[in-house]
Amino acid sequence: MKLESTAALVAIDRDGARALGLDGAGAWSDAPGVSAPLEVHLAVTARCAAGCKGCYLDARPDGAQPERATIERSLDALREAGVFTVAFGGGEPTTRDDIAELAQAARSRGLTPVLTTSGLGLSDARIERLSAFDQINVSYDGASKAYTDVRGFDGASAAERAIRRLAETGIRVGVNVVLTKQSFPELEATIARARDLGACEAQLLRYKPAGRAASIDYLASRLTSGQRRELGPTLRRLSGIFCEGGRFHLRIDCALTPFLSADEEIMSEPSRLARFGVFGCEAAASLAAITVDGLMAPCSFAPPTRLRARDLAAGYADDDDLGRWRSYVEAPAEPCASCPIRSVCKGGCKVVSAFLSETHGPDPECPRVESYGAHLS
Q: Which of residues 252-281 bind another protein (CB under 8 A)?
A: 252-255, 257, 266, 272-279
Closer residue to another protein in complex, CB, 160/201: 201
Residues within window 319-358 making contact with another protein, judged by CB under 8 A: none
Distance CA 127, CA 150 (A): 25
Residues within window 70-99 making contact with another protein, judged by CB under 8 A: 76, 79-82, 84-85, 87-90, 93
Q: Rule CB under 8 A: is residue 170 a binding residue for another protein?
A: no
Q: Which of 192, 267, 313, 356 binds another protein (CB under 8 A)?
A: 313
Closest contact distance (angstroms) between CB of 175 and another protein is 10
Closer residue to another protein in complex, CB, 35/225: 35
H-helix or E-strand spanning residue 239: helix 225-242
Residues within window 201-220 making contact with another protein, judged by CB under 8 A: 201, 203, 205-206, 208
Q: Rule CB under 8 A: is residue 303 a binding residue for another protein?
A: no
Q: Rule CB under 8 A: is residue 247 a binding residue for another protein?
A: no
Exposed e or buried b per residue across 215-246, where buried means at least 16 C-beta atoms within 10 angstroms of its C-beta: eeebeebbbeeebbbbbbebbeebeeebbeee
Q: Rule CB under 8 A: is residue 163 a binding residue for another protein?
A: no
Q: Rule CB under 8 A: is residue 300 a binding residue for another protein?
A: yes
Q: Output phi, psi for 212, to 5 deg.
A: -70, -15
Q: Rule CB under 8 A: is residue 249 a binding residue for another protein?
A: yes
| DSSP collapsed to 3 states, 158-207 | HHHHHHHHHHHCCCCEEEEEEECCCCHHHHHHHHHHHHHHCCCEEEEEEC
H-helix or E-strand spanning residue 324: helix 320-326
Closest contact distance (angstroms) between CB of 69 and another protein is 16
Burial of 318 (0-12, 13-18, 19+ CB in 10 A): exposed
Distance CA 194, CA 196 (A): 5
Count of residues engaged in binding another protein, rule: CB under 8 A:
89
Q: Rule CB under 8 A: is residue 3 a binding residue for another protein?
A: yes
Q: Which of 74, 137, 180, 183 binds another protein (CB under 8 A)?
A: 137
Q: Do 254 and 280 meet the contact criterion of CB atoms below 8 Å apart?
A: yes
> How many CB atoms are located within 10 Å of the residue 35 CB?
12
Distance CA 53, CA 210 (A): 11
Closer residue to another protein in complex, CB, 49/243: 243
Q: Rule CB under 8 A: is residue 46 a binding residue for another protein?
A: no
Q: Rule CB under 8 A: is residue 282 a binding residue for another protein?
A: yes
Q: Rule CB under 8 A: is residue 19 a binding residue for another protein?
A: yes
Q: Rule CB under 8 A: is residue 194 a binding residue for another protein?
A: no
